[in-house]
Structure 1
Amino acid sequence: MSSASTSRKLAASLSVATAAFVVAVPIAASSTTAASAAEITSIADIQGTSDTSPLVNKTVTTSGQVTAVYAEGGLRGYTIQTAGTGGENDPTPGISDGLFIYSPDTVGSVHIGDYVEVTGTISEYHGLTQMTVAQGKIRQVPTRIIPVQPYKGAFPDTSAGREELESMLLQPTGNITVTDNFNTNRYGEIKLTSGTTPLRTATDVVAPGEAAKAYEAANAEKDFIVDDGATVDYTRGGKDIPLPYLSEQNPVRVGSAVTFTQPTVLLYSFDEWRLNPTEPITGASNPATIPATFTNTRTAAPEKVGGDYTIASFNVLNYFSTTGDELTGCTFYTDRAKNPITVNSGCDARGAANDENLKRQQDKIVAAINTMNTSILSLEEIENSAAFGKNRDEALNTLVAALNDDAGFERWKAVPSPEALPGQEDVIRTAFIYQDDQVQPQGDSEILLDSDAFNNARKPLAQTFEPVGSKVKGDEFVAIVNHFKSKGSGSGVNADQGDGQGASNADRKKQAQALVAFADQEKKENKTDNVVLLGDFNSYSKEDPMKILADAGYINIGDQFDAGYSYVYSGRQGSLDHVLASPSMFKQVTGADVWNINSVESIAFEYSRYNYNATNFYQPNAYRSSDHDPKVVGFNLRADAPISFTDVPGNSPFYSEIMWLAQSGITQGWDDGTFRPHDNISRGAMAAFFYRMAGEPEYNAPAQSKFSDVSTTHPFYKEISWMAEQGITTGWADGTFRPEAPVERAAMAAFFYRVAGSPHYVAPRSAEFSDVQPGGAFYKEISWMHSKGISTGWDDGTYRPADPIKRDAMAAFIYRYEHNVAGKK
């Protein structure tokens, strides 16, 4: 199968054999009879110039070098490629020179490197051009050939480009990233995409509807699979075969960078383009035969989010202390020894089958929560023990006891259920736990009771908290945990509308509206404007329910702080889990992070897959303790000194960057509560900014100033001296620093370049800005700034190097530097 598209362009730097290099191919002994001396049809003629071979249902003879053999594992065939093709040599531009030979009769008689003549019938098998070869229709030809070389270059992003390489040997280069590993546990396949980031869920990026459809259509062209060269199901008939690719040391996470170290063959099956190793692999294969390596991106703990306090949301994936063996009617998922592991159906329990498996699940959840060590934690998908005739808080208290036992002291407490409860509830619920040496609940918790919006979901649970020992009115805040209706079912107005939001979106919109009203009620009752909404909203960031909350004034903290994404579904990464803050509460937020311990991990590491495969992947650690990732937020509670500026309203062009600058401690503004965004920033203030960006390192300024115009009593003497000693500034030739002078845009580029350590960088020969020419002052530094996305210049193509920097623009430059270069969130 091929395409009449533009011929592929191969990089000139590829390492291949020269066209004149000829070798003798070793010939394996063959018991097959010779094919008749028919006219040879080239593989390119078989593939043709469309996505269907022009020779379908025709019997032809062709020849080529064997590049891959799949004698075991279910593919029952091999690939051949026209001798001398691949690498830089492309005698048939736009047409594939490879062919899959389906031949259970002859696959056992060929070896990689053989040169063969085969006769068979051409067909299209679910999109793959193949030849079916019967016993006696193969001849191994002793000849001297130019061997096949793998194509090395970027993997094509289009189906047309991929069809040009169908069944050919290739070893992709460039940036490639894991975008899905859901089927790694079952079929030994890993979904990839070109670039450095996984594919995103459309409605986490763009609005639902036509924009989302277009975004996903573009996504669908980008992914491809690295496979195992087999059709084995490792969770069923292949349970006793060690699963390939995965291990505790090599978890193959979504977001992992991929490097191909061995050639593969590109095949098409099950509606996917697949890079197969040249022979089937398993977890017991020689590591040298594994075609790719993957970076291990696991982190031991969430990133620091600052603040005196932290709050987090964690969906604990059906944590049930009532196990299936306690109930009548439960059926179970079993391991390969037929031992029950988790509840399948037949009863209301949804978690572990027995105490042994509950402990496995609990150990992972405990490891995750105690490592997060947050002041307050909301929980979703924890058992509502009242559904089993027990105290409603039994499962919650069981988890808290396990957390404290692991910690070795009474670290955690649970917020008790309120007296007023819904008449009917789901078997799963939400809850709060907290550390009582940091915060204390004020009053009782409260569940939203007077709304029908949540009849098919978990009703919101509110609790007011304040810091331990607080004597300042206004430090209290209301936290409301949520778990909206899922996307999996719905009819009528709740049917999937095809706009990217899934089923039951109409109900989730009603739930968002009811939540806003509930939060307003809680604000009034508790006499505070400080509110945090958190939990599993089952809505991506750009969907209707999140817009309703945003229109009500709630700020998505994860989006504002670029915290990361909490969920992976169908090879797309996004966030269903959110932490939002009212404007007054947001002013006190210091940072946020999604700790990717679950969604990006293979399900093989989950307790529910214990002993499913010959390789037992279970470990009592935090990784794959759930299917959602926890989202952690840092904040301060200083009602007497909130972070806000009277002259920076929420609709200011650089509002988020200025607030981030303040929350990061880089600026405090003026005593009158202003930031003065349109003022020029002085060189002295710039020194202070850089010093704070560096974390205010210990530094003793010299007794004598280096600069004639900066006295030792200058407000920024220490920072200016530090900046000079770090080589960030040299001052002026006359020995001055000119601390009150504005920072010009050209000098600003030089400062950032030096702060970054003056990295090796070759500036482009052609100017990127019409007013900054090669060889001019700070040309290299300005070009580097542009390459890092710190400055984009003006719409008219100028940089304006002599213009002074305004304080709001400097906030944007620092924000971009810290995120794009320093790698902070």
Structure 2
Amino acid sequence: MRVTSLLVATGVLLCSAPAAVAGPAVRIHDVQGTTRVSPLVGQRVTGVPGVVTGVRGFGSARGFWFQDPEPDGDPRTSEGLFVFTGEQTPAVAVGDVVAVDGTVTEHYPTAPEETPETTANQSVTQLVDATWQVTGRGAVPAEVVGPDSVPEEHAPLDGNIDKRELEPQRFALDHYESREGMLLRVDDARVVGPTDAYRALWVTSKPGQHANSRGGTTYTGYADPNSGRLKVESLADGPFPAADVGDLLRGSTEGPLDYTSYGGYVLEATRLGEHQPGGLQPESSRPQGEDELAIATYNVENLAPGDDPAKLDRLAEGVVEHLASPDVVALEEVQDNSGPVDDGVVAADETLGELTDAIAAAGGPRYLWRQIDPQDGADGGQPGGNIRVAFLYNPARVSFVDRPGGDATTPVHPVERLGGVGLSASPGRIDPGNEAWRDSRKPLVGEFLFRGRTVLVVANHFGSKGGDQPLHGRFQPPERGSEVQREQQAQAVRAFVDEALAIDERARVVVLGDLNDHGFSPAVQRLTAGGALVPLADSLPPLERYSYVYEGNAQQLDHVLATPSLRADYDVVHVNAEFADQVSDHDPQVARFTVR
């Protein structure tokens, strides 16, 4: 759409757009209505009055928000609205009093306008093909979002909630929708999701809601997604704070409320509170004792040769200084030697060589590694990267039992050895032909010896959550379709563990890695059913069980599970997920086992 403007002698700003048939004069609350979808969608409205509260002058979705200074008193109807001007910056300023003509539409982020049913996102009510007059100057007060403002209950569980009457005093999503486009303010907001690469962060308006010891908000169950979370972006051109979890935006942060596919409701700030660092520091775990076997898991986020040397140095620092040089490290997201170049290369010796060299240079042990190259393009992840799981181990502390026969397609099994349990091949992959592993990483199993005792270690990277409906979407409860594959994957791993325990009821088996799911999820529950595997995170208070921060929710995606014959001291080592400057989006964790 092309929008042009003309300043006439009277001082009134006129904007021209394609001609349309004039319709009835309405106010913003008439356009917004009492549901998520406007009752006037598709209609041309004229002379809609309001005060400009924010201007987006960048990107391909430019426009401005305006708000009616005379609300109708109905808590269901928003008094704010967005005027979409495409790639044309609108010639208005905050505080302008305007009268707007335009066509009412519902924009569904990430979906073609003609097929909105293809997205689970909610819509944004807006005016397009707009013209407007600036008639003066004015202001509207910002509504304060505080601890008691937003309901605890997340959303009505009615399927598609698009046309359901809003209940803003009962449901959090309804509360935000009833204020779509309105000027909101949050004071002294605590950061619960660090600044990302897109100049956005997450705060909470409910500082006491599932607060963990490091200032975050922990996701404890599907029924409670933490309604106080709110995304913050900036409409200003100035610097954006590089904030960590636990920092404050001191004073007032205010702007119109928008909705995007990346996190849902977002405060588009015209004013940011002063960034006050909270002093959060990366954690360090204690070294293992002489008689403790330390096993860690670390998602190294698409590690490839040629990565910035600073990334390798910081990963090495994480292993040596923060994890205290564990005896065994299960790595996830190790790419092949050509990284994301899709050239048929599957070997990863250069990738692992660079990492182990960096660890040695940082004062750590000279780790050796074991892994199995996947079939090209068969294990998902970044196209061309051929990500896989791998083991690093310190030969001065632990021995790896090499046994031939393991490859990309041959399944490994527990077998009886010397009155105990070992592996048919080491390293090996669990049931790689199982449909559960389609386009996903196959678990890697290794047989280790520590002080003469055999320990089987299973490194995992289960299927991603990609494709699941969002917590903030219009379908409630959201469908988590990816859970099906992870539960099947968990069943395959659990079958392996059950085989080992059938041979030796005191088998020492450790199952760990990025399971891409929560401790309360069906997949993890499948692994731990009946007590065959003990979730070591259960040794922590519920609010401290997290290794990842997503949309302001601190959550547990990485796990260490062990058979009951093993006793462990367990530690999630927070070095990444809570920080704007992170080398991976996951925190590593380490367990120190007493092996008898």
Per the alignment, residue 78 of structure 1 pairs with 64
Aligned match of 2:235: 229
Q: Of 538, 548, 558, which residue of structure 1 is paired with 2:537?
A: 558
Distance 1:376 1:101, change over 3 A: same
How big is the shift at 1:130?
3.6
Letter in 1 for 2:143: Y
Q: Distance in 1 between matches of 2:556 and 2:127?
A: 45
Q: Does 1:577 align with 2:594?
A: no
Three-state SS of the structure 1 residue aligned to 2:174 is helix
Equivalent-residue separation in structure 2 for 1:452 and 1:42 (angstroms): 63
Structure 1 residue 123 and structure 2 residue 79: aligned?
A: no
Within 2, Cα distance between the matches of 1:417 and 1:106? 56
Quick one: which amino acid aligns to residue 628 of structure 1?
H
What's the CA shift for 1:296? 5.3
CA distance in structure 2 between the partners assigned to 1:268 and 1:534 by the alignment: 37
Match of 2:576 among 583, 598, 604: 598
Give the Å deviation of 1:365.
Answer: 1.6
CA contact (8 A) 1:567 1:574 kept: yes
Q: CA deviation at 1:314?
A: 1.9
Aligned residue for 1:141, secondary structure, equals strand
Q: How far did 1:151 drift?
A: 1.0
1:359 corresponds, among 275, 296, 309, to: 309
Name the structure with the higher helix share: 1
Alignment partner of 1:508 out of 490, 502, 510: 490
Quote the residue 2:460 is aligned against.
483
Cα distance per residue 1:719-743 (max 9 Å; x no partner): xxxxxxxxxxxxxxxxxxxxxxxxx
Q: 8 Å contact 2:459–2:513 — kept in the other structure?
A: yes
* Whole-angstrom CA distance in 2 between matches of 1:34 and 1:579: 61
Which residue identity does 2:513 align to in structure 1?
A: G
Q: Does 1:633 align with 2:596?
A: no
- The 5-angstrom pairing of residues 28-47 of structure 1 reads 30=11, 32=13, 41-47=26-32
Distance 1:564 1:549 in 2: 16
Q: Percent identity of the aligned residues?
A: 21
1:261 shift after superposition: 2.4
Structure 2 residue 257 is the aligned partner of structure 1 residue 266: yes
Name the SS for the 2:519 alignment partner. Answer: coil
Offset, 1:120: 0.9
Structure 1: distance between partners of 2:184 and 2:566: 54
The CA distance in 1 between the partners of 2:335 and 2:37, in whole Å, is: 54
Partner of 1:377: 328
* Partner Cα distance (1:429, 1:130) in 2: 47
Q: Write the deviation string for residues 172-204 of structure 1: whole angstroms up to 9, x where unpaired.
A: 2486653586xx424x44455554456767xxx
Q: State the alpha-carbon separation in 1 of the partners of residues 241 and 532 from structure 2.
A: 44
Q: Name which of structure 1's ranges 561-570 and 509-518 shifts more when overlaid on structure 2.
A: 561-570
In the TM superposition, what whole-angstrom CA distance separates every residue of 1:6-47 from its partner, at most 9, and x where no partner exists? xxxxxxxxxxxxxxxxxxxxxx99353699xx9975444444
SS of match in other structure, 2:49: strand
Offset, 1:461? 0.7
- How far does residue 226 in structure 1 lie from its aligned partner after superposition? 2.0
Q: Please name the residue that 1:517 is paired with.
A: 499
**Alpha-carbon deviation of 1:298?**
4.5
Q: Match for residue 55 of structure 2?
A: 69
* 8 Å contact kept, 1:396–1:414: no
Structure with higher RCO (Cα < 8 A, 6+ apart): 2
Which of 404, 418, 421 is matched with 2:360 structurally?
404
Indicate conservation of the 8 Å contact 2:367/2:392, yes or no: yes
Give SS of 2:259's match: strand
Residues 380 and 536 of structure 1 are in contact (CA less than 8 Å); yes or no, is this contact kept in structure 2? no
CA deviation vs aligned residue, 1:140-197 (integer Å, no higher than 9, x gap): 237xx7x42211133535233223323222102486653586xx424x4445555445
Q: Distance in 1 between matches of 2:532 and 2:15?
A: 79
The residue aligned with 2:179 is 165
Give the unaligned 5+ runs of structure 1: 1-27, 207-211, 231-240, 279-288, 320-350, 467-474, 491-496, 606-622, 640-825
Structure 1 position 460, deviation (Å): 0.5
1:185 pairs with one of 185, 188, 197: 197
Structure number with the higher strand fraction is: 2
Paired residues of 1:44 and 1:95 also in contact (CA < 8 A): yes
1:560 shift after superposition: 1.9
Instruction: Give the letter aligned to residue 460 of structure 1.
Output: V
1:414/1:80 Cα in 2 relative to 1: closer, same or farther (>3 Å)?
Answer: closer
CA–CA separation in structure 1 for the residues paired with 2:255 and 2:480? 37
- Residues 325-377 of structure 1, C-alpha deviation per residue, up to 9 Å, x if partnerless? xxxxxxxxxxxxxxxxxxxxxxxxxx23x4xx363442222121111213413
The answer to whether 1:299 aligns with 2:313 is no
The SS at the match of 2:356 is: helix
**Residue number in structure 2 paired with 1:314:** 298
Write the letter of the residue equivalent to 2:450. Answer: F
* Amino acid aligned to 1:178: V
Bigger Rg, which one:
1
Q: Which letter maps to 1:261?
A: S
Deviation at 1:123, TM superposition (A): 0.8
CA-to-partner distance for each residue in 1:592-632, whole Å, 9 max, x for gaps?
A: 22123334456xx5xxxxxxxxxxxxxxxxx32x3432112
Is 2:273 aligned against 1:277?
no
Instruction: Check 1:636–1:518 CA distance in 2 against 1; reply closer, same or farther (3 A cut).
Output: closer
2:82 to 100, 105, 115: 100
For 1:576 and 1:93, locate their aligned partners in 2 and report how far apart those are by CA, in whole Å: 38
* Long gaps (5+) in structure 2: 1-8, 17-22, 108-122, 152-171, 338-343, 380-385, 407-411, 414-423, 468-478
In structure 2, the residue corresponding to 1:412 is in which secondary structure? coil
Instruction: Quote how far apart the aligned CAs of 1:501 are.
Output: 1.7
Distance 2:59 2:563 in 1: 56
Pairwise CA distance, 1:566 = 2.5
